[in-house]
A and B are shown apart, each in its own frame.
Chain A
Amino acid sequence: MKHNAGIDKIQEGKTAAMKIRIYPLILSLGLSMVCLATAQRVGATLGGSADSIESDRQALSAVQRPVTVRNGYTVQEVESDATAVREYVSPAGVVFAIAWHGRVHPDLSQLLGSYEGEYREALSQVPRQKGNRRSLQVKTPRIVVEKWGHMRDQRGRAYVPSLVPSGVSVDEIR
């Protein structure tokens, strides 16, 4: 149920942002695009093709940054007012990891794509540790999600170990 609340929130945010940017005459067109983007989210992002980054960008009301080429993969960054998200794309064109930092954590229901269900399941099994307010690690059969940081700088990453290109260290994902 919380997951659904999160999706609603993204839609509200996006609608509000677009109202500012577009002319009233094409408002209705813009709103249909919102619905389209929402519909396309299935199968997007982590584990998906590089094309799915565009749907993340739209859902996060974010702007696209230039693509960075690193040793053995490329990094595409989208940035909103609250959070910057990096998506790590393998030579085969698959998003094998995402990392973020900002005032708040992004909505992972968008970014984790098809892995979202198993993440929520594993998250519910993580015991609360007194004193640990600054980090989280969730492992599912297929992905690893980590959060860290503090007020005003929340950070995190999610990756699919089986998709990480050989020779690439997890430390580079941040």
Chain B
Amino acid sequence: MKSGRFFLSAATVILFLLCVLSSWAASPVFAQTSTVTFSDVPASYWAYPVIEAIYNDGITVGCSQSPLSYCPSGAVTRDQMAAFIIRALFGENFGYTQTPWFSDVPATDNFFKYIQKLKDLNITTTIGTYLPSDPVTRDEMAAFLVRARQVKAGQPTESFTNTTIPYFTDVSATDTYFPYVQNLKDNGITTVTGTYNPDENVPRDQMAAFIARAFLANNVLSVTVNGALCDSTLSQGYTNDPCVSVTVCTPGTSTCQTINSILLDTGSFGLRIFKQALGNVSLTQVLSGSGSLGECVEFADGSSDWGPVQMANLILGNEPSVHVPIQVIDSTFGDPTVCPGADQSPADAGFNGILGVGPFVQDCGTGCITSGNNGANPTYYSCTGTTCTGSPVPLSAQVSNPVASLPVDNNGLIVELPVVQSGGTPSLSGIVVLGIGTLFNNTPPSAVTTYTLDPTYGEFATTFNNISHNDSFIDTGSNGLFFPSGSGRHHTSLLPDCQDPNQGWFCPSSIQSLSAIIEGASGSSTNTVSFQIGNFDTLTNSSNNVFSDIGGDYPTFDWGLPFYFGSNIYIGFEGVSSSLGAGPYFAY
């Protein structure tokens, strides 16, 4: 079938290889496996980490013995593909229909059981003949992988969602394979940009990358900015709203709730979820002396989150569940008057919760473990009935960054969001990869530069307009680029304030191209970052919700969500390290 697809132009092949190589070639050797399994896959080979990963998981046994080889450049045939996918889902032991589905795949075929199972599960929809020796093209592979991931998730094969704005110039919205290719990109299973080359055959090295990312990357969280993971009512009027989903379970039970519209926030630490979003999941109250532990978290806009601290089992991506203290946002808890401005409902806040995954482990840290927390405006309280008093809290009971509690991928994370063109887009899909240098999919290329953060505040220096701001920070929870436009709130003519109701945002008459210099808190890493600021009124008066070029006046430099568009931003946690150095740091 599709014999026309055998024809490939040499230029396309070279371009594609360059594209693939550019994202892999610079990668240092995968730390966890230094042994070389296949004679034709040396440690320096771009696909070495993923080929080793699928070998270690029993998904490939190679293409020939003595010496053991993988044949990385050989085309994947349809029968091999069935074996790769079914082994990734079930290993070698699974039931399947004994009566042959296809006239060209008899029960004596070496790949019979895999192909039967593929058909049993509707991962292939072919009828009559399977054409087992044909190569698999990249668009067909997208369909097989997406359906197989649906099977793994226990969902009907065609019930997935995908970003509707085309990622690739060569896979248009009318293409039969469009939803599959889009979903593949949404989930970080293909990492190419620009063109997908849908008609090219899939070589075995690419197959290893597809399979590893699709089935072995348990450390990936999907993010949508104003997309499918954001509740449309909550994110109404919320510009640059990065949403993830988390699963919260009653400890020791299988009672769980998967909750969308959780704000991805690298500017805070720990999970906070509205009581209204928890459904029938009950959590275990953390005690403080004889009282219940409560917390008041202030935000700079005058709002705050108030409620009890409780132990929850959390599931991030497909990681093992972690048992951590979270804050249940509940404005009726204890004595709410100790926490003025407390949010009452998800509608108040525009989200069901906040996932704080910044560089610190606890939300307060050592500042709250002594009687210092007892002074004016405590963070933590011990509540008995409706009486709440400031109370010291050990680190282990403080609301904490759940990523730091993972068994393996616990030293940081990578936020990967695509480029946003000038003028914006209705929504955006990206991923958060947990851990740095812990799995085949999170090893930093050597070109990544580390910027240290100061260990008390998690800040670094940004120089803008020849003024250095050493309390600068990066923050997915800030929905623009915020910086001092001139003298305090007295703007320069280039970046005037918008009129009501958008006061505080910039409304320049034309797009302004600017730059600022980022400098780590210690050490000598510096980088000049160019950015643009457009007219907030004009941009947001459209059907778009996601913008790379919006900003507002601010006393220091807050690199909000637009800073993350178009590059992979690494965040290293305090107290641990990776090949990028000792945390806290950020890197890109």
Binding site for B on A (CB under 8 A): 1-2, 5-6, 9-10, 12-14, 16-17, 20, 59-61, 80-83, 101, 103-107, 123, 126-137, 144, 146-157, 169-171, 174
* Chain B positions within 8 Å of A153 at CB level: 456-459, 471, 473
B17 on the interface (CB 8 Å rule)? Answer: no
Q: Which of A13, A20, A150 contacts B475 (CB 8 A)?
A: A150
Let me know if A127 and B501 touch, CB within 8 A: yes
Task: Give Cα A171 to B377, complex, Å.
Answer: 27
Let me know if A134 and B558 touch, CB within 8 A: yes
* Chain B positions within 8 Å of A13 at CB level: 374-376, 378, 390
| Given A148-B555, A151-B356, A153-B471, A5 contacting B375 (CB threshold 8 A) | no
Task: Give Cα A59 to B477, complex, Å.
Answer: 33
Task: Give Cα A118 to B302, complex, Å.
Answer: 16
* Chain A positions within 8 Å of B350 at CB level: 130-131
Task: Give Cα A69 to B241, complex, Å.
Answer: 44
Q: Which of A9, A20, A123, A151 contacts B363 (CB 8 A)?
A: A151
Task: Give Cα A134 to B471, complex, Å.
Answer: 13
Let me know if A136 and B302 touch, CB within 8 A: yes
Nearest Cβ in chain A — how far from B454, in angstroms? 10
* Chain B positions within 8 Å of A61 at CB level: 375-376
* Chain A positions within 8 Å of B300 at CB level: 133-136, 147-150, 154-156
Task: Give Cα A154 to B558, complex, Å.
Answer: 13
Interface-centre pick from B240, B356, B370, B372 (highest chain A CB count, 10 A) = B372
Main secondary structure of the interface of A (DSSP, over half): mixed
Surface stretch bound by A, among B149-157, B188-196, B479-487? B479-487
B198 on the interface (CB 8 Å rule)? Answer: no
B389 on the interface (CB 8 Å rule)? Answer: yes
B450 on the interface (CB 8 Å rule)? Answer: no
* Chain A positions within 8 Å of B348 at CB level: 128
Let me know if B482 and A104 touch, CB within 8 A: no
Let me know if B555 and A155 touch, CB within 8 A: yes
Interface-centre pick from A17, A82, A127, A147 (highest chain B CB count, 10 A) = A82
Let me know if A134 and B478 touch, CB within 8 A: yes
Let me know if A131 and B479 touch, CB within 8 A: yes
Q: Interface residue count for B (Cβ, 8 Å)?
A: 66
Can you report 17 A-B residue pairs in the complex whose CB atoms are below 8 A from each other? A2-B340, A12-B390, A13-B375, A13-B390, A133-B477, A133-B478, A134-B299, A135-B300, A135-B552, A149-B556, A150-B268, A151-B267, A152-B363, A155-B471, A157-B555, A170-B488, A171-B555
* Chain A positions within 8 Å of B303 at CB level: 128, 133
**Residue in chain A with minimal CB distance to B337:** A5
Task: Give Cα A29 to B477, complex, Å.
Answer: 49
What 0/1 readout, one digit per residue, does chain B (545-580) give for beta carbons within 8 Å of chain A? 000000010111010000000000000000000000
Q: Which of B235, B337, B358, B370 contacts A151 (CB 8 A)?
A: B358
Let me know if A103 and B367 touch, CB within 8 A: yes
* Chain B positions within 8 Å of A135 at CB level: 300-301, 482, 504, 552, 554, 558
Task: Give Cα A107 to B377, complex, Å.
Answer: 7
What 0/1 readout, one digit per residue, does chain B (398-438) give for beta carbons within 8 Å of chain A? 00000000000000000000000000000000000000000
Let me know if A169 and B475 touch, CB within 8 A: no
Within 8 A of A (CB), among B237-264: 237-241
Nearest Cβ in chain B — how far from A139, in angstroms? 9
Nearest Cβ in chain A — how far from B297, in angstroms? 7
Nearest Cβ in chain B — how far from A14, in angstroms? 8
What 0/1 readout, one digit per residue, does chain B (484-505) give for beta carbons within 8 Å of chain A? 1001111000000000010010
* Chain B positions within 8 Å of A123 at CB level: 302
Closest 10 CB pairs of A and B: A170-B488, A81-B372, A131-B479, A130-B350, A130-B238, A153-B457, A5-B337, A151-B268, A2-B340, A13-B375
B166 on the interface (CB 8 Å rule)? Answer: no
Let me know if B302 and A147 touch, CB within 8 A: yes
| Given A133-B303, A150-B475, A151-B268, A104 contacting B298 (CB threshold 8 A) | yes
* Chain B positions within 8 Å of A80 at CB level: 375-376
Q: Which of B268, B301, B456, B488 contacts A169 (CB 8 A)?
A: B488
Task: Give Cα A106 to B375, complex, Å.
Answer: 10
**Residue in chain B with minimal CB distance to A12:** B389
